[in-house]
Structure 1
Amino acid sequence: MPKRILQGTVTSNANAQTVSVLVERRFTHPVLKKTVRRSKKYRAHDENNACNVGDVVRIIECAPRSKTKRWEVLQAAEA
């Protein structure tokens, strides 16, 4: 099974080698036929502390690195 890759915006880089990434998904509501926005935050491993708040990044699934980190920064995406 391939690893999932998500794209989101960095909301926090306060911790060492860790960033919080807000990933937003949009879908059409099955009954109301209205576009709905849902968002979720993921904690991702950032080896070199290269990401800053507001950066658009791609994250990929990985083996658990801590209690909350199961993702790592793949690359800074072109906005």
Structure 2
Amino acid sequence: MPVKQQIGIVISNKMQKTIVVKVENRYSHPIYSKTVVKTTKYLAHDELETCNIGDQVLVEECRPLSKKKRWKLIQVLSKSSLLS
């Protein structure tokens, strides 16, 4: 079974070794044909604490690490231009 991966934006890094990643899912509404954007937030494990707010990251599903944390950071795709 393939491992799920998502690309998202870091919206919080205030916890130790944990980041919050916002993933947008765009799809066409079946009746109205309007593009709908659904946003999901995932808690992901960031072992080295390398991420800052606004970074685009690749996260991968893994075993449960805590009550809500089931994703881990794989790669930082692009760094944010914001200074934190």
TM exceeds 0.5?
yes
Give 2:7's aligned residue.
7
What one-letter code is carried by the residue in structure 2 that aligns with 1:31? I
The answer as to whether partners of 2:60 and 2:71 remain within 8 angstroms in 1 is: yes
Q: Which one has the bigger strand percentage?
A: 2
Q: Distance in 1 between matches of 2:74 and 2:32?
A: 36
Unpaired stretches in structure 2, ≥5 consecutive residues: 80-84
How does 1:11-26 map onto structure 2 within 5 Å? 11-26=11-26
Question: Over the residues paired in the alignment, what is the CA RMSD in angstroms?
Answer: 1.0
Identical amino acids, percent of aligned pairs: 46
Secondary structure of the residue that 1:77 maps to in structure 2? Answer: strand
CA 1:8/1:18 → structure 2, altered by over 3 Å: closer, same or farther? same
Q: TM-score, normalised by structure 2?
A: 0.91
Q: TM-score, normalised by structure 1?
A: 0.96
Give 1:34's aligned residue.
34
Secondary structure of the residue that 1:13 maps to in structure 2? Answer: strand
The answer as to whether partners of 2:55 and 2:78 remain within 8 angstroms in 1 is: no
Unpaired stretches in structure 1, ≥5 consecutive residues: none
